[in-house]
Amino acid sequence: MSKPLRAWLGSPRGWGACLSLLYLLGSLALLPVFRYMINPDGISYLSIASRYLAGDWPGAINGYWGPLFSWLLVPLLALRIEPLLACKVLSILVGLATIPALQALSLRFGLCGRLRAITLGALLPLLWLFTFSIVTPDFLTTCLLAWYFSLIFDARFTDRRRSAILCGMLGGLAFFAKAYGFYFFLAHYTLAAALFVLSAEDAARRRAAVRNYALGLAVFAVLAGGWIYALSDKYGGLTVATSGAYNHSVMAPDSRGQPMLYQGFFAPADEHATSIWEDPSALRGSTWSATGSPRLLKYQAGLVLHNGILVVRHLSRHSFPALLVLAAFVLIGLRAGRRCLRPGGEALPLLSLLLFAGGYALIVVEDRYLFVCLILLAFMGARLIQREAERGILAGWRFTAAAFFLVLSIAAQPAVETASHYRRARNVKLTQRLIVHLRHLTALRGTIASNGEWTRTLSIAYQTGLRYFGVPGDTPSDQVRATLARLGVNFYFVWNGSPAEQKAFQGCPEITGGTLNRLRVYQLAAPPPAGP
């Protein structure tokens, strides 16, 4: 290897290129396995993207699903890439855009070259997990926030107006990716500005912090305001998003979970939607407020405590020294005093993680929501090792042992989870074979419902061009057939049907001819004419 090439590989740019190549090669190897994995959220984003592509902009504007993921899918669909594959391609592109953001973020934590390379390399399994585990904008949000953190954690942030403008732009994009980005950016950017003002050494520094805060906020307001205006015009009142209200209703004290699983059949959101899940805000739910009564306030406090425990479990499962890292940063901040509040200090990364996770703890927590917290934890752990190495405590074999422990804590669980998703992907292939079989049934057109397997049947409906009315839920079994007839449903999918269910649809043609072991498809009404 030539000396210039060796020097380039040892540089941040060279190492970043190698890391991107490793990520890309690993992603291409995993792509055939995970290609057909899709979830209800992914189907909604694809359906909305198809509306944009078809020019149905009024129908595409949606208060529940952020628009950015669908916007990014549009050019891939325009290139006639198969929709499920387009989701995976987009996720891989998001991963490639995340790697330079992680490089920039590693510099903000002051990591030496060797420790930076170790940490970034250990994050690859986490990136593959984000890429293939589920179709979600949470990975896109993680990418945008990684870039945002790389700017606002910079010790020179208050001196750079360009950084403030970019922060405002990234905050707007985070809102476009997911509604939570709106609230998190406003709270976090305000918190960061307050810390910078409190830690400023003189009046000029305070003015610079306030100036950058106002500049970034103005850019964010312009971007976010346009989308809020579009939503408000569609829904007939000031609307930032509808996802928060829906999730809040699902978590009501008397809630039984997702309405479409127990409230009976639902027509799709409109004539072009695959299911009601394309705009869940239309679903019925409980309206409640923690301030409504002492009982509700107590319930809200219990919900926050429960979700807080879930956050700790999720973080500890993916990064087992998570609590130790957080406790260490708290102690460092207490010892550093006011200095830790400055740009580049220990307070802001710690508060960023707590604020991001704490916002979700108010309503509902899922592990995918905490992707960005896992990234912060990885760099915070590396920063602790760097700190002790600078003090001479970690040297030689001790540094090697600490670095190995860091890699294990970052990479082990994501590798295990990716393997578990690999096993689940094999079951998805069985569904794809079923879809191929169903596509050969020329009579299968129009609308369908099913007795169960809501997620699986929705995937089949999307991929075969059908409209899905859901499952019976609480509908009495002796009223299911009449209800379907009233709704005009053409076909009813019966999974693992009981003798009573088979008897209820006696006289209805079974269009599969009994060729499928677990599924019977009964024709209830004549399907619409086939398209040209």
Mean pLDDT value across residues 375-389: 91
pLDDT reported for residue 10: 53
- The confidence band for 347, taking pLDDT boundaries of 50, 70 and 90, is confident
Has residue 14 got a pLDDT over 70? no
For the segment 437-457, the average pLDDT, to the nearest whole number, is 87
Q: Does residue 53 or residue 5 have the better pLDDT?
A: 53
Residue 111 vs residue 166, higher pLDDT: 166
Specify the amino acid at residue 75: P
Most confidently modeled range among 113-117, 142-146, 324-328, 431-435: 142-146
Q: CB pairs under 8 A, 24+ apart, for 69-72?
A: 69/45, 69/137, 69/140, 69/177, 70/45, 70/46, 71/176, 72/140
| pLDDT at residue 290 tops 90 | no
Q: What is the pLDDT of residues 453-472, one digit of tens each?
A: 999 999 999 999 999 999 99
Three-state DSSP string of 60-127: HCCCCCCHHHHHHHHHHHHCCCCHHHHHHHHHHHHHHHHHHHHHHHHHHCCCCHHHHHHHHHHCHHHH
DSSP string, 28-59: HHHHHHHTT---HHHHHHHHHHHHHHHT-HHH
Residue 434 one-letter amino acid: L
Between residues 130 and 283, the one the model is more confident about: 130
Contact, 145 vs 174, CB < 8 A? yes
- Which of these, 84, 89, 103, lies nearest to 38 by C-alpha position? 84
**Phi, psi at residue 450, to the nearest 5°?**
-150, 160
Task: Report the pLDDT value the prediction gives residue 49, as an integer from 0 to 100.
Answer: 96
Q: What confidence tier does 255 reach under pLDDT thresholds 50, 70, 90?
A: confident
Average pLDDT of span 438-444: 80
The model's pLDDT over 198-208, given as tens digits with 9 standing for 90+, comes to 888 888 888 99
Question: Quick check: helix, strand or coil at residue 3?
Answer: helix
Stronger pLDDT, 505 or 141, i.e. the higher one: 141
* Structure confidence by residue, pLDDT tens digits, 206-239: 899 999 999 999 999 999 999 999 999 998 899 9
Cα separation, 194 vs 61, in Å, equals: 35
Identify the three-state secondary structure at position 11.
coil
pLDDT of residue 395: 77
pTM for this structure?
0.93
Query: What amino acid is encoded at 439 in this protein?
Result: R
Measured CA to CA, the distance from residue 393 to residue 497 in angstroms comes to 66
Predicted confidence (pLDDT) per residue in 128-180, tens digit:
999 998 899 999 999 999 999 999 999 888 888 999 999 999 999 999 999 99
Which of 160-174, 257-271, 385-399, 478-492 has the highest average model confidence (pLDDT)?
160-174
Give the model's pLDDT for residue 269.
84
**Confidence tier at 11 by pLDDT (50, 70, 90):** low
**Please, what is the average pLDDT of the chain?**
89
For residue 456 the two structure tokens come to 């699986």
